[in-house]
Structure 1
């Protein structure tokens, strides 16, 4: 039987069986199908549909959910009521099953009271709600109808502050002058609560440390009007404590820069710097370096904003495990006009030094696997200014499993060392004020790395990287990274005849390896709402700009042999590259989401380069790309690779243009196991024709050259650490002839293993 027909019959069977739930409904019951609100008004009602929708959202109870007009949840509930429901029925009930909601569960008189209460909260006083049940005995269902009669709402005539004591009277009056409460505003309880919170926030910014929005109370007077208007008065509740009615000044700031909670009574030394007390049990953090992170100032009014800024800045240094700011009230100095606070900042350091060793089992989508050993050393306060020094070394060995026996690249050995220093401040020839960066102070990053790769029977590659740049957060969601110095050096120190033959057959590939020296700058902008886990709609956007060779070209020399320009005897690359990575997550609920991703990238060689350096080119396929195709096996364009599937494919299948799109539905299974259904599409292309890669040039026909795949995934998610297994098969293969590309190749399923979610 055709598979599509089989699936359709299964769906039809489910619909037919779900429609048969009437026979399971008890004779003295009717299935509740929901409620409807009908509104009648005695005047023009603004935003009537919005109000109707709000009232219908508060109707209780919620009816059983429907899918395509049927009740699958009820169906599986009734199936489990049998003596032997079976394992599958029990499992499906746990996932989608629902207990039935009958008319006897509906208390319409209680819902009427809730509707009236909600209308009064919105200013529609003296309204009425009456309910009836619309029963369908034949279908054994019933619907609740709520007929709501809404009267003209009360609107604001005036808003003023009652007489209260100084100094808080002046500050509240100043806040009221900027209110959005204007004449004609409809009475609304939510507006009043928002106004109280707004006034409290403004008072807090002016130093009212002990004030609380619950101290404010509104009173409405309608006696002066006959046309449903009211005067609104704001006053303080009775018996509000005196200390809540005066602003606080920060008299003293104490910073415990290496506070030990288990040894809090240790003898401390105090250093006075920039009107702050730095208290340490030993010389740990230079006060001059720590001071810029503290935005609190002696003599200023208490400010929750400055307190949050200080805590956030200190937390981003990377040296401290805990940052705790506590305020101590000096009650003996309380007067009728002011009060005093002492700010105590307790900083609990992380272990200054850390040594870590990891033994890893590496598996890759290109059939390579093997062990890897990594050692890393960290010093989190190198020069007593919060500088973080990281030194890491790695040694790895990989061999090919199940690949082509004639592949000359059957194994590889890698060795690398990298040193990095992260300064929690801006290192720049000219002084930049830290106050310019309100949210956080930028960090300066310097790194140096050397890597050695020995691909057996092919080549040996020595590469080095140097970077200097800045990293900072503009706000909660936005991050900038700018590296004005980014240098890569790559040198094929030895090649074999087999690899020389590969390069000889593909001059483009030869040129990409010849560009040994890459010097330029790069900038990355990231907007990330994924940090807010409670948002229903989350957006992530990253744009990276990489430019190389422009400054070096000023010092380049012509090379007569290669007909290119060189710097220090090395051929240098010159290009501009732009990537855009956009993601959107729709959180259906706390356990289910739909995740989507769009990626577009383009690299443009110019000047000294006819094409992009090999390490800067794009590839497609693999666990974080189009998962129905193994890594680097898709493209460029319609290029199908060589028949033997040798290493030549793995090197060749790159391009300077990349387009991809992904969509994934994520859902829970049981315990810490989660599932996914996904579809991916994408490919890479070259902007110039390469005779060694026929079909690889980008053209207006690019949409028909996308590789498309679908699949299922299993994730092991333990407190955010995710191990991912994905199984995907192509449904559109651009390497096939036109007219034959759409074909669900379920027998060509590709397995992908990954750590973390793909997007």
Structure 2
């Protein structure tokens, strides 16, 4: 592994050197004509005040070439491309009299022609042009179009008589210039009165009932954006008030004033017009006014085939719905009607239509539904036909992955799952999955003589599209919130990974989403049993603990009464060491029984090692419940201005502790209550995770994340189970440290699986485009883990208030990413900027070089 890092480091240096040589040889003005000026900057001045608003600046047609830290990388890549590679090749080919003839004899004439189209001759230039960026030279026609666009923007804000211009400001450097856009706004127009002309009496009544919510008000400055928002508000209002066919194009506004004439008051009257419904098939103006419609009949086609007929289907009436089916109804009628939010004789609401689409999709039993409305215009009634095309009853998924981690040099993983839909007739989904992996251990993680790791596991998961609970929860969590209940059970076996583990787990959970941005999840029962099957491997895995213990035992390796604890090894400096596990465990037992003369500090160190061994090798029974609240303001995948907020609360062992008052439990020698001969864990845990993204400019994004997690043991536990504890480092945490290498606190336990029960992390990343689908990032990761409120007594690992914040580690670095559209491949290089495990000034920049860098490979962004 170290050899690979050295090789990667050398190649990185060579790559940087080549990049510097290429960049140094580039001429930014190479493809800028003699009479042209390269645009270097745009400035906008409104009433002599500089504008920095990114939305307004985006109105300018021509923008300077993009840059990476002030350097126009894409422009210089473009400049490296040859303008006419075909002509250059022909010139080279005929520069010497016999060159073409010799090449034809050596390659053949056909291959010489192909050489002209090759990547070396033509493809390289095409590639550089594709990922590069042509020089942006000032075009006065586009500059005037930018002025016109800016004037139009401010007219939409009520400045109807504004005027604009632009100036070309040539700089001191040749063939470069800036553009200054200047606008004089004048006085804005103010809305004086709002009149209305609504042709439908029913719509007029609905409008009057919500007039207090209007976004176009007397006394407000004219703003076209408010008029557009008001049109959207009214369209939503009418469509949720029974007008199923209302069209936004029916709404218009008239300005009842000549805005070209200036006046002292600058007041204006506006009129709201809502016209009659205009049919797409009728261009005349004799259509009837909009009316409020009610649902006369609702039909559900449960076995609909696209293009198939419906005459041969059977039908049944259920709760004012008519359900059509073929041969036999395979679904519980209530499961179908609960997903429909229209009710007979109720007014039409567009909100009910959207909720119906979402809930039917949530059933995971049907394809995307088709909902049809047939109007009876004479009575203002609707017939709704809901067509449900079933998904296949069974589906099979297979996955295969190649993995790499700090433990495995390389590994392969496979998984398969069988999905069965509509198991009990109520749109339930049963998922039976199996997974397995095998990998080659890295040299640093060789825990045994076996060089391979393996893992095998499986799960059974059933999902109900409702809250599965003894009491009716529909009033608290209605179906439009997409409720789901999940019951799962699974097992997992690990071989030659740490202490080797066998785990059994079972979960009963509920989740629902009041809105698209808001989600709740409750795990009423989360039961996990973890059994360490190779406890004797502790000192092979946790090498730092072993080295500390072996160093203490060195003083007694020649004492005959302790000879059984040692074995001879091929090492001139230290020919004897404690054997694993018998010698190490025997020496610890002798120390704790006062059979080995040690000073107080060494005895405390041995006691700490033994306590850690017991904690990490003991089996765990976790009987927990938790609640997670998640909010995401992101609108879509292209939204780069959003935040995510997650809070999780978890408690474990409380129910078992209460039952101990009724059912007598056995106890171990540490006075812990036992269930199935295993002490159950008891703790409270909370996590807060906040992510914020800012869209800076031109696809540049600043991403920020902060995380705080704390788990406090009490009652039946003195510490937190390993599977519920925190670790630091890794590709999604502090990238200057490998996973499990950081902390706790200021300790330096290299090669150990370091964990603790308190974690603080902060990350910030500046993401920017480089060329095409290649992106770059600069990042800074801060944070650490500590022990608190548990049985750890090493002061270097314990959080002691604000003074411990000095132990926050800082890693900085650079990342490269390639966007494959569906996922992002990520390579991050992290440097230890501040290392709390070192002393004094050595904490800063001691590992700030490529040799000490940590390379992380990941899929998608870390936050």
Q: TM-score normalised to the size of structure 1?
A: 0.83
Match of 1:577 in 2: 685
1:680 maps onto 2:813 in alignment: no
CA pair 83-277 structure 1, distance change in 2 beyond 3 A: closer
Instruction: Give the direction of change, closer, same or farther, for the CA distance of 1:339–1:91 in structure 2 (3 Å limit).
Output: same
Which one of 654, 663, 668 corresponds to residue 755 of structure 2?
654
Q: What residue is the counterpart of 1:334 in the other structure?
A: 377
User: Residue 533 of structure 1 aligns with which residue?
Assistant: 637
Q: Distance in 1 between matches of 2:148 and 2:240?
A: 41
Match 1:381 to one of 422, 425, 430: 422
In the other structure, the counterpart of 2:272 is 234
Q: 1:99 aligns with which of 119, 135, 146?
A: 135
Preserved CA contact (<8 Å) 2:132 2:771: no
1:393 corresponds to? 434
Residue matched to 1:157: 192
Moved more, 196-205 or 273-282: 196-205
Query: 3-state DSSP class of the match of 2:433?
Result: strand
1:205 lines up with 2:240 in the alignment:
yes
1:275 pairs with 2:315: no
- Residues 391 and 419 in structure 1, CA contact (< 8 A), matched pair in contact too: yes
2:367 alignment partner, SS class: strand
Q: TM-score, normalised by structure 2?
A: 0.74
1:300 equivalenced with 2:346 (yes/no): yes
2:219 paired residue number: 184
| 8 Å Cα contact 1:424/1:442 also seen in 2 | yes
The answer on 1:441 being equivalent to 2:486 is no
Task: Name 1:246's counterpart in structure 2.
Answer: 291
Change (3 A) 1:14 1:713: closer
**Aligned: 1:545 with 2:545:** no
Counting only pairs closer than 5 Å after superposition, residues 213-224 of structure 1 correspond to structure 2 as: 213-222=248-257
Note closer, same or farther for the CA distance 1:65–1:617 as it changes in structure 2 (3 Å cut): closer
Correspondence for 2:384 among 343, 356, 365: 343
Correspondence for 2:850:
746
Distance 1:314 1:616 in 2: 36
Task: State which of 453, 460, 476 in structure 2 corresponds to 1:419.
Answer: 460
The 1:49–1:212 alpha-carbon spacing in structure 2 relative to 1, beyond 3 Å, is farther
User: Matched residue of 2:643: which SS?
Assistant: strand
1:80/1:693 Cα in 2 relative to 1: closer, same or farther (>3 Å)?
Answer: same
Displacement of 1:722? 4.6
Deviation string 1:277-334 (CA, Å, 9 cap, x unpaired) is 12222322211122112111121222111100111111112222322222223xxx32
Q: Which consecutive residues of structure 2, in runs of 5 or more, have no partner in the other structure?
A: 1-11, 89-119, 277-283, 538-579, 589-608
Corresponding residue for 1:318?
Answer: 364
SS in 2 for 1:506: helix
SS of structure 2 residue aligned to 1:554: helix
Tell me, what secondary structure is at the counterpart of 2:201? coil
Q: Does the 8 A contact of 1:292 with 1:434 survive in 2?
A: no
Quick one: which of 586, 590, 597 aligns to 2:694?
Answer: 586
Matches within 5 A, 1:5-84: 21=29, 26=33, 28-30=35-37, 58-62=59-63
Q: What is the 5 A alignment of 1:484-503?
A: 484-492=524-532, 495-496=535-536, 498=580
The question of whether the paired residues in 1 share the 8 Å contact of 2:199 and 2:275 is answered with no
Cα drift, residue 723 of structure 1: 4.8
Q: 1:541-596 deviations in whole A, cap 9, x for unaligned?
A: 22222211112112333626332222354311111111222222334578654433
Q: Given the superposition, is the C-alpha separation of residues 453 and 142 from structure 1 closer, same or farther in structure 2, using an over 3 Å criterion?
A: closer
Pair 1:520 & 2:620 matched = no
Residue 355 of structure 2, aligned match among 309, 317, 326: 309
Residues of 2 paired with 1:406 and 1:147: CA distance?
Answer: 71
Higher deviation after alignment, 517-526 or 619-628: 619-628
1:256 paired with 2:301, answer yes
- The Cα of 1:629 is off from its aligned counterpart by 2.6
Contact 2:193 2:268 in 1 (8 A): yes
User: Is the 8 Å Cα contact of residues 64 and 101 (structure 1) preserved in structure 2?
Assistant: no
> Displacement of 1:94 after TM fit?
5.3
Partners in 2 of 1:368 and 1:271 — Cα distance?
62
Separation (CA, whole Å) in 2 of partners of 1:460 and 1:13? 52
**CA-CA distance at 1:91 after TM superposition:** 7.0
The superposition leaves residues 644-683 of structure 1 with CA deviations (integer Å, 9 ceiling, x where unpaired) of x5xxx23xx2111222233344556677665555443333
The answer as to whether partners of 1:258 and 1:284 remain within 8 angstroms in 2 is: no
Residues 221 and 230 of structure 1 are in contact (CA less than 8 Å); yes or no, is this contact kept in structure 2? yes
Q: Distance in 1 between matches of 2:201 and 2:301?
A: 36
Shifted more, 582-591 versus 188-197: the winner is 582-591
Summarize the alignment of residues 443-482 of structure 1 with structure 2, pairs less than 5 Å apart.
443-455=484-496, 461-482=501-522
Q: Which runs of 5+ in 1 are unaligned?
A: 42-47
Is structure 2 residue 737 aligned with structure 1 residue 629? Answer: yes
Q: CA deviation at 1:385?
A: 0.7
Give the direction of change, closer, same or farther, for the CA distance of 1:490–1:261 in structure 2 (3 Å limit). Answer: same
**How big is the shift at 1:445?**
1.3
Q: Does 1:168 align with 2:203?
A: yes
Per the TM alignment, residue 484 of structure 1 is displaced from its structure 2 partner at its CA by: 1.8
Kept in 2: contact 1:525–1:542 (CA 8 A): yes
Query: For 1:380-424, what per-residue CA distance to the aligned partner results, in whole angstroms no more than 9, with x for missing partners?
Result: 211011111112233444441333667467444433232111111
User: What secondary structure sits across from 2:691 in the alignment?
Assistant: strand
CA-based RMSD of the aligned residues comes to 4.3
- Alignment pair present for 1:195 and 2:230: yes
Give the CA deviation at 1:476. Answer: 0.9
- Measure the CA separation in 2 of the matches of 1:142 and 1:754: 42
CA distance in 2, matches of 1:555, 1:154: 73
Using a 3 Å threshold, how does the CA distance of structure 1 residues 249 and 400 change in structure 2: closer, same or farther? same
Deviations along 1:348-387, one digit per CA (max 9) or x if unpaired, are 2222212344454443321364444434222121101111
**Deviation for aligned residue 1:34:** 6.2
Higher fraction of helix: 2
> Secondary structure at 2:459's aligned position in 1?
strand
Deviation at 1:500, TM superposition (A): 6.9
Residues in 2 aligned to 1:170 and 1:691: alpha-carbon distance in whole angstroms: 71
Distance in 2, matches of 1:512 and 1:71, equals 54
Q: CA contact under 8 A between 2:666 and 2:673: conserved in structure 1?
A: yes
**Contact 1:76 / 1:89 at 8 angstroms: preserved in 2?**
no
Q: Distance in 1 between matches of 2:316 and 2:406?
A: 57
Does the residue aligned with 2:694 lie in a helix, a strand or coil?
Answer: strand
Contact map agreement 2:621 2:678 (CA 8 A) in 1: yes
Q: Which moves more between the two structures, 498-507 or 603-612?
A: 498-507
Distance 1:380 1:111, change over 3 A: closer
**Secondary structure of the residue that 1:305 maps to in structure 2?**
helix
Instruction: Indicate conservation of the 8 Å contact 1:513/1:614, yes or no.
Output: no
Task: Confirm or deny: 8 A CA contact 1:205 1:303 kept in the other structure.
Answer: yes
SS of corresponding position for 1:695: helix
- In 2, the alpha carbon distance for the partners of 1:169 and 1:118 equals 32
Greater Cα offset, 79-88 or 443-452: 79-88
Kept after mapping to 2: 8 A contact 1:594/1:664: yes
Distance 1:189 1:252 in 2: 41
Closer, same or farther: CA 474–28 of 1 in aligned 2, 3 Å: same
Classify the secondary structure of the residue corresponding to 1:662: strand
